[in-house]
């Protein structure tokens, strides 16, 4: 690795670098800032605008579901417009994590790609699908009540109950952190990612129960899972900050592909 | 290999196993059968000893007894809070 | 270079494959596969009567269904080692694998949503059931693209010792061909091309299971070769 | 967050060196972030269980009779024995007896595997009786608590496998890694120590 990469770095340093990239890791910092921005928008959409977090109860009667949709129709629509516009920001956060995972030593890019692919899967059934189901319901709230209930179920169950993609995401992230010989991320972040896997397992019963701690709005399946997710995401953002700060300047100038060839 | 068993760990393990058998005996005989043992009293005793067992594992097997104070305090407070939580929920929910 | 991570991803295949096989066997609608000709009431009754098994099976699929992604990414990494003109095929393979997994996740959600409220209007349960089966059986295009990219990559691999032997390329093309009939389940209610038919269901599922099994050993051999090549170079 | 002790020195094992000094974090601080987090998470499951128990008092008492207390007590003893073996394995590693450490590790792992097998039998017998996750509130908690715990046991077995490779790789193992693995394994043990009376014994 070292021979090729220092040669590549020297070559890159010799060539004229455009003005913008002279700022160290500017691209990564842009991506990094997208994470807090995205999650603020995400919180605004789901907590305030659409009122889907905390989720309305799976035990609601048809009348309650219809009144939830009818009373919130405008809120839902505005919220989902904002979500449609901003969900792409989530891709930026996976981009920067992939860059950092590829810096790891002793790990092939397979895990980074798996992370990328798992989140590409997750964006649809795990987030946007929910928004679209509620958009459909809010578009014609006077639809047949049975259809409104169906859309309500499809929306919330896909949102809380898409587990596999996140299991893969957490799992490959944890494996990568444990195998990394360079300590790009601290090991405790790897352990915390195992909690991530556990929270996904704790959401299994939402497919069965309509009340209690393991329903989709329950103490454990929803609240504990969400708290752990928020803590994990916060730690991830902090660790990313430190990782980018600690990244040597030569290395940051290397292209993604030259890094892989050097491997 | 046998030499290694001549360690405090073995005694700790013996104590843990004895306590397990004791709470199993107490737990399975309380609230049922002819020789009635007071169920709520038994629950308190069972959980007290369960927490004692957990503390033994933490202190001796996990070697927290030689760890910094903050870690010892954290583990002990968790045990105390868990015990308190379980017992108070038990009496509140009856 | 260390190949531990690739080996871990490789061994996820038998681990999660066993769980998925279990889920496949638990599902009451696979032996024989549920017929598309059932009436709405019959479909609703199927979900009412077998709700426990359907949930158990589909929850396992939900958790494990996407778990082959790390394995496909190992294939991507191996494709990157090929002496191809560029890495276009490897990245295309990555993208196709992600999209294919998304559709499987969608099919799974439809099954589970149908089982969530078995008392739902039978017409709606039937629609969810149709959605699930169609999303499960018909979108073979992504698998075709994956196999095609891999096969082409193998044929164009100019290395003196290719990453994958050439027969793997033929094997991938043959698998792709055998899975093609699945797409026609969109238009047939009965016969071998319907979603419960011999071609669209059994041939497709059987081929894919065999494909994963063979590729497990093929990829393992490729990782071993990588380890020895790079060990010798170092 | 990071350790105050010199990592390099502790990573290299000095035979015969016990960890006699006080005020050291067993293993490394990372694993304790995990353990403490798990403690908090499991407290939440316990609280949810106790809350539902208060709501459906009679149901819980009735449903609990379908469980086998004796098997669960035996499980506890098995897990305690495995903990002892793992603790002894760490001691043997510190003393430089890697072969013996590996043997203790195998014994501990065997006990852990026995626990998994017996849980599999317990679950399948309950499922055969028609008692599933969806049966009632008690069995929901029963399957979730034992299931999440079982997941930790399985993960622990993977961890023990990694330790076994570390001990048998030829060069001296990293004592710190052994301590981390042991800490994880004991955590699985003491969580079960609480779960056992909670599910099986509380009348």
Neighbours of chain A (3+ CB pairs under 8 A): C, D
Q: Which of residues 4-63 of C touch A (CB under 8 A)?
A: 4-6, 8-9, 55, 58-59, 61-63
Q: How far is it, in rounded angstroms, from Cα A24 to Cα A5?
A: 18
Give residue A260's pLDDT band: very low, low, confident or very high (50, 70, 90): very low
Question: What pLDDT, on a 0 to 100 scale, did the predictor assign at position A15?
Answer: 55
Average pLDDT over residues C216-231: 93
Q: Do chains D and A touch (3 or more CB pairs under 8 A)?
A: yes
Question: What pLDDT, on a 0 to 100 scale, did the predictor assign at position A27?
Answer: 86
Q: Is the pLDDT of residue C230 over 60?
A: yes
Q: How far is it, in rounded angstroms, from Cα A166 to Cα A164?
A: 5
What are the chain B neighbours of D36 within 8 Å (beta carbons)?
Answer: 74, 78
Query: Is B14 near chain D, with CB under 8 Å?
Result: no
- CB–CB contact B53 D100 (8 Å): no
Q: What is the pTM of this model?
A: 0.89
Question: What pLDDT, on a 0 to 100 scale, did the predictor assign at position D173?
Answer: 84
Alpha-carbon distance C191 to nearest alpha carbon in chain A (angstroms): 31
Encoded tokens for B79: 């045990």
Question: What pLDDT, on a 0 to 100 scale, did the predictor assign at position C223?
Answer: 95
Question: What pLDDT, on a 0 to 100 scale, did the predictor assign at position D169?
Answer: 85
Q: How far is it, in rounded angstroms, from Cα A32 to Cα A35?
A: 6
The answer to whether the CB of D99 falls within 8 A of the CB of D173 is no
Q: Any idea which fold D27-201 has?
A: 1.20.120
Query: Is C5 near chain D, with CB under 8 Å?
Result: no
Q: What are phi and psi of A60, to 5 degrees?
A: -55, 145
For chain B, which residues score pLDDT lower than 50?
34
- Of residues A88, A84, A74, the one with CA closest to residue A138: A74
Interface test mutation site (partner A, options C50, C102, C108, max chain A beta carbons within 10 A): C102
Q: Which residues lie closer than 8 Å to B5 by C-beta, 6 or more apart? A: D88
Q: Is the pLDDT of residue A34 over 70?
A: yes
Strand partners, C30: C33
Give residue D61's pLDDT band: very low, low, confident or very high (50, 70, 90): confident
Cα dihedral A20→A23→A27→A31 (10° resolution):
-130
Among chain D residues, the shortest Cα distance to A187 is held by D30
Question: What pLDDT, on a 0 to 100 scale, did the predictor assign at position A3?
Answer: 47
The answer to whether the CB of D69 falls within 8 A of the CB of B27 is yes
Query: Is B57 near chain D, with CB under 8 Å?
Result: yes
- CB–CB contact D189 B61 (8 Å): yes
Alpha-carbon dihedral sign for residues D137, D51, D40, A160: positive
pLDDT tens for each residue of C28-67: 989 889 999 999 999 999 999 999 899 999 999 999 989 9
Q: Which residues lie closer than 8 Å to A2 by C-beta, 6 or more apart? A: none
Alpha-carbon distance A167 to nearest alpha carbon in chain D (angstroms): 13
pLDDT tens for each residue of A131-181: 999 999 999 999 999 999 999 999 999 999 999 999 999 999 999 999 998
Mean pLDDT is lowest, of A14-18, A128-132, B7-11, for: A14-18
pLDDT tens for each residue of D68-81: 888 999 999 999 99
Q: How far is it, in rounded angstroms, from Cα D25 to Cα D32?
A: 9
Q: How many domains does chain C have?
A: 1
- Of residues A18, A25, A44, A54, the one with CA closest to residue A222: A54
Interface test mutation site (partner D, options A190, A191, A230, max chain D beta carbons within 10 A): A191
- Tell how far CA A26 is from the center of its chain: 22
Q: Do chains D and B touch (3 or more CB pairs under 8 A)?
A: yes
- Enumerate helices (H) and strands (E) in chain B, giving the number of each: 4, 0
Give residue D25's pLDDT band: very low, low, confident or very high (50, 70, 90): confident
Among chain C residues, the shortest Cα distance to A210 is held by C116
Q: Is the pLDDT of residue A60 over 50?
A: yes
Q: Is the pLDDT of residue D8 over 60?
A: no
| Percent of chain D that is helix, strand, coil (3-state, to 5) | 75, 0, 25
- CB–CB contact A214 D52 (8 Å): no
Q: Do chains B and C touch (3 or more CB pairs under 8 A)?
A: no
Neighbours of chain C (3+ CB pairs under 8 A): A, D
Alpha-carbon distance A257 to nearest alpha carbon in chain C (angstroms): 10
Interface test mutation site (partner A, options C56, C68, C105, C123, max chain A beta carbons within 10 A): C105
Cα angle C96, C100, C106; round to 5: 150
Alpha-carbon dihedral sign for residues D21, D26, D30, D33: negative
Give residue A7's pLDDT band: very low, low, confident or very high (50, 70, 90): low
Question: What pLDDT, on a 0 to 100 scale, did the predictor assign at position B84?
Answer: 94
What are the chain D neighbours of B66 within 8 Å (beta carbons)?
Answer: 19, 21-24, 26
What are the chain A neighbours of C128 within 8 Å (beta carbons)?
Answer: 150
Average pLDDT over residues A186-200: 93
pLDDT tens for each residue of D86-120: 999 999 998 888 899 999 999 999 999 999 999 99
Encoded tokens for A153: 């179920």
């Amino acid at each position: 690795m070292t021979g090729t990469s220092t040669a590549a770095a020297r070559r890159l340093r010799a060539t004229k670098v455009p003005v913008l990239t002279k700022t160290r890791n500017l691209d990564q910092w842009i991506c990094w800032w997208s994470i807090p921005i995205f999650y603020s928008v995400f919180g605004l959409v789901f907590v305030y605008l659409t009122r889907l977090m905390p989720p309305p109860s799976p035990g609601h009667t048809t009348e309650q579901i219809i009144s939830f949709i009818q009373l919130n129709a405008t809120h839902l629509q505005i919220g989902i417009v904002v979500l449609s516009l901003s969900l792409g920001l989530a891709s930026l956060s996976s981009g920067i994590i992939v860059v950092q995972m590829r810096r790891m030593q002793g790990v092939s890019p397979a895990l980074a790609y798996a992370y990328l692919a798992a989140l590409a899967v997750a964006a649809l059934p795990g987030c946007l699908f929910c928004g679209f189901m509620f958009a459909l319901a809010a578009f014609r709230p006077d639809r047949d009540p049975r259809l409104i209930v169906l859309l309500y179920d499809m929306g919330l169950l896909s949102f809380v109950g898409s587990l596999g993609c996140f299991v893969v995401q957490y799992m490959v992230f944890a494996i990568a952190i444990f195998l990394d010989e360079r300590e790009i991320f601290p090991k405790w972040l790897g352990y915390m990612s195992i909690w991530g896997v556990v929270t996904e397992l704790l959401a299994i019963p939402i497919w069965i129960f309509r009340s209690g701690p393991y329903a989709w709005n329950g103490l454990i399946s929803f609240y504990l899972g969400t708290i752990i997710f928020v803590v994990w995401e916060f730690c991830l953002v902090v660790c990313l900050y430190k990782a980018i700060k600690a990244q040597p300047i030569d290395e940051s100038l290397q292209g993604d592909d030259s890094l892989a060839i050097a491997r | 290999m046998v030499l290694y068993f001549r360690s405090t760990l073995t005694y700790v393990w013996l104590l843990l196993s004895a306590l397990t058998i004791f709470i199993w005996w107490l737990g399975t005989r309380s609230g049922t059968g002819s020789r009635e043992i007071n169920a709520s009293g038994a629950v308190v005793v069972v959980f007290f000893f369960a927490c004692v067992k957990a503390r033994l594992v933490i202190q001796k097997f996990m070697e927290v007894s030689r760890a910094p104070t903050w870690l010892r305090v954290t583990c002990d407070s968790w045990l105390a809070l868990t015990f308190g939580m379980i017992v108070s929920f038990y009496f509140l929910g009856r | 270079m260390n190949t531990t991570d690739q080996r871990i991803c490789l061994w996820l295949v038998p681990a999660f494959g066993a769980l998925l096989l279990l889920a496949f066997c638990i599902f009451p609608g696979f032996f024989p596969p549920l017929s598309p000709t059932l009436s709405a009431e019959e479909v609703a009754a199927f979900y009412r009567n077998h709700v426990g098994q359907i949930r158990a099976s589909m929850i396992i699929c939900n958790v494990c269904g996407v778990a082959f992604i790390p394995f496909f990414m190992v294939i991507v990494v191996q494709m990157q080692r090929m002496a191809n003109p560029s890495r276009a095929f490897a990245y295309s393979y990555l993208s196709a694998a992600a999209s294919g997994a998304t559709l499987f996740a969608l099919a799974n959600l439809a099954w589970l949503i149908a089982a969530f409220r078995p008392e739902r209007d039978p017409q709606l349960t039937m629609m969810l059931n149709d959605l699930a089966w169609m999303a499960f059986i018909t979108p073979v295009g992504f698998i075709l693209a994956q196999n095609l990219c891999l096969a082409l990559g193998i044929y164009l691999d100019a290395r003196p010792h290719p990453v994958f032997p050439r027969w793997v390329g033929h094997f991938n093309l043959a698998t792709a061909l055998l899975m093609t009939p699945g797409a026609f389940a969109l238009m047939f209610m009965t016969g071998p091309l319907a979603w419960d038919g011999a071609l669209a269901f059994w041939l497709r599922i059987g081929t894919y299971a065999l494909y994963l099994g063979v590729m497990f050993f093929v990829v393992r051999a490729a990782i071993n070769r990588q380890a020895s090549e790079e060990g010798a170079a170092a | 967050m990071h350790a105050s002790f010199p990592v390099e020195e502790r990573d290299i094992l000095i035979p015969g060196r016990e960890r006699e000094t006080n005020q050291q974090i067993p293993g490394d601080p990372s694993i304790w972030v995990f353990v403490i987090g798990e403690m908090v998470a499991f407290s939440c499951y316990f609280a949810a269980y106790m809350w539902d128990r208060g709501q459906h008092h009679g149901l819980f008492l009735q449903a609990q009779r379908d469980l086998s207390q004796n098997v669960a007590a035996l499980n506890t003893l098995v897990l305690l024995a495995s903990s002892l073996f793992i603790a002894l394995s760490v001691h043997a590693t510190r003393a430089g007896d890697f072969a013996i450490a590996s043997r203790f590790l195998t014994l501990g792992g065997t006990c852990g595997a026995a626990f998994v097998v017996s849980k599999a039998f317990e679950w399948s017998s309950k499922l055969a009786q028609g008692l599933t996750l969806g049966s009632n509130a008690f069995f929901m908690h029963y399957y979730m608590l034992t299931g999440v715990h079982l997941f930790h046991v399985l993960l622990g077995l993977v961890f023990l496998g990694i330790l076994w490779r570390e001990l048998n790789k030829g060069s001296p193992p990293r004592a710190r890694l052994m301590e981390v693995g042991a800490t994880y394994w004991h955590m699985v043990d003491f969580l079960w120590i609480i779960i056992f009376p909670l599910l099986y014994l509380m009348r």
